[in-house]
Amino acid sequence: MSFTILGTGSAEPSLCKTNDDLAKVMDTSDEWIRSRTGIEKRRLCGEETVTDLACEAAEHAMEDAGVTARDLDLILCATVTGDYITPSMACLVQERLGASCPAFDVNAACAGFLYALDVADGYFARDRVKRVLVIGAEAISKIADWEDRSTAVIFADGAGAVVLGEGGDLLAARLTTRGNHGALYAENVKGNCPFRSNGTKAENVSETSDSDGREIKKARENYLYMDGQEVFRFAVASMIRDLKQIMKEAGLSCGDVTYVMPHQANRRIIDFAASKLDIADEKFLVNIDQRGNTSAAAIPILLDETRRKGMLKKGDVLLFTSFGAGLTTAACAVRWGRE
């Protein structure tokens, strides 16, 4: 017993900012951003919180699935940008929706939504649940360094959700981690404990080394830092490897695949990985041009958009693949079970 997807939903924040808008506040241009990322515009939070987005996406997914909050047996939220360190965003969503089930967050960065699906699968396998709400929601704009054009132009905000029920539609899944905290990270608050020497300075954090002895560059305190070249190489290699592996485990040929829904990190990453696989280019779905990189929310948003466009039919085979800070990767093959 695994699961089937009963419903999908998504939510977008109020602000829509084009590349030209960003060029007004930092040293960049529309051509610079498009050529390196494929992004044209992105959604950013204005007055709304990431919890607002998560709840809206959840409500759309529940409505689509025909269930209420009282029907839920578990709520999982994938995020790195919850409104609080504690309580978890899942607890905030549970309270606002009026549910009474257990709820907790999953932090696997951009791969978090697929990690959460795998967690949900374990609950179904043990016959502990009948209905599970899984949400990916992020407001990366609040941890992006808006003086660093190499990162701020990429990330965006949004939320996507699915309601899962009992079924057999998860065909294969793969999770990996290659510990590397220096390639992509954002530090937590240091606090003001008088007994701890933390050397806080507003402008930077101390330099350290990663597991390979390479110096980790300084980043402005509490802001996101990314080594773009290292992440690019890791992302391409992991997407190719993970897609091949889950197709093998599920007994799928390239012709069996209806769509590939990759993490929307960078258009060049997607295109390069696609060129190394025998899956037709048109099967790789992309919305990064309009959405930017919404981290753990990217895949559920893309799935909801695809469903609402009427592009899915019962029996379609979908491949999901993602990667993120950690460094984490995740991929799974799912059969679409709805009419």
Please indicate, yes or no, if residue 215 is contained in any of the structural domains.
no
Sequence-ordered strand ranges (E) for 181-325: 184-186, 224-226, 259-262, 317-324
Residue 235's pLDDT is what?
A: 96
Q: Based on the fold, state whether residues 300 and 158 are members of the same structural domain.
A: no
Q: Based on the fold, state whether residues 105 and 244 are members of the same structural domain.
A: no
At 269, which CATH number?
3.40.47.10
Residue 230's pLDDT is what?
A: 93
Express each pLDDT in 13-68 by its tens digit.
999 999 999 999 999 999 999 999 999 999 999 999 999 999 999 999 999 999 99
Candidates 107, 263, 266, 332; catalytic one: 263
Please indicate, yes or no, if residue 115 is contained in any of the structural domains.
yes
To the nearest whole percent, how much of the chain has pLDDT over 90? 86
Express each pLDDT in 192-208 by its tens digit.
888 987 654 434 444 44
Range of the domain at 263: 172-180+225-335
Q: Based on the fold, state whether residues 12 and 160 are members of the same structural domain.
A: yes
The total of other beta-carbon atoms located within 10 Å of residue 201's CB is 11
Catalytic residue check, 293: yes
Question: Is cis: bond before 87, omega within 30 of 0?
Answer: yes
Q: Which residues of the chain have pLDDT under 50?
A: 200-208, 211, 214, 216-218
Please indicate, yes or no, if residue 259 is contained in any of the structural domains.
yes
Q: Based on the fold, state whether residues 231 and 163 are members of the same structural domain.
A: no
Q: Based on the fold, state whether residues 121 and 14 are members of the same structural domain.
A: yes
Residue 198's pLDDT is what?
A: 62
Q: Based on the fold, state whether residues 238 and 159 are members of the same structural domain.
A: no
C-alpha dist (Å) from residue 90 to 75, 222, 304: 6, 23, 20
Q: Based on the fold, state whether residues 84 and 114 are members of the same structural domain.
A: yes
DSSP secondary structure letters along 247-261 = HHHHT--GGG--EEE
Q: Is the Cβ–Cβ distance between 191 and 176 less than 8 Å?
A: no
Q: Based on the fold, state whether residues 239 and 281 are members of the same structural domain.
A: yes
Output Rg (C-alpha) for the chain, integer angstroms: 19
235: left (phi over 0), alpha (psi -120 to 50) or beta: alpha
Residue 221's pLDDT is what?
A: 65
Catalytic residue check, 110: yes
Q: Based on the fold, state whether residues 152 and 41 are members of the same structural domain.
A: yes
Please indicate, yes or no, if residue 204 is contained in any of the structural domains.
no
Please indicate, yes or no, if residue 219 is contained in any of the structural domains.
no
Catalytic residue check, 263: yes
Q: Based on the fold, state whether residues 51 and 147 are members of the same structural domain.
A: yes
Please indicate, yes or no, if residue 74 is contained in any of the structural domains.
yes
Q: Based on the fold, state whether residues 165 and 267 are members of the same structural domain.
A: no
Candidates 19, 180, 266, 293; catalytic one: 293
Residue 220's pLDDT is what?
A: 56
Candidates 45, 55, 77, 110; catalytic one: 110
- How many domains would you assign to the chain? 2
Secondary structure element (H or E) that encloses residue 238, with its range: helix 228-250
Residue 188's pLDDT is what?
A: 87
Instruction: Supply the pTM of this predicted model.
Output: 0.92
Q: Based on the fold, state whether residues 16 and 156 are members of the same structural domain.
A: yes
Residue 94's pLDDT is what?
A: 98
C-alpha dist (Å) from residue 39 to 175, 266, 277, 322: 28, 8, 23, 18
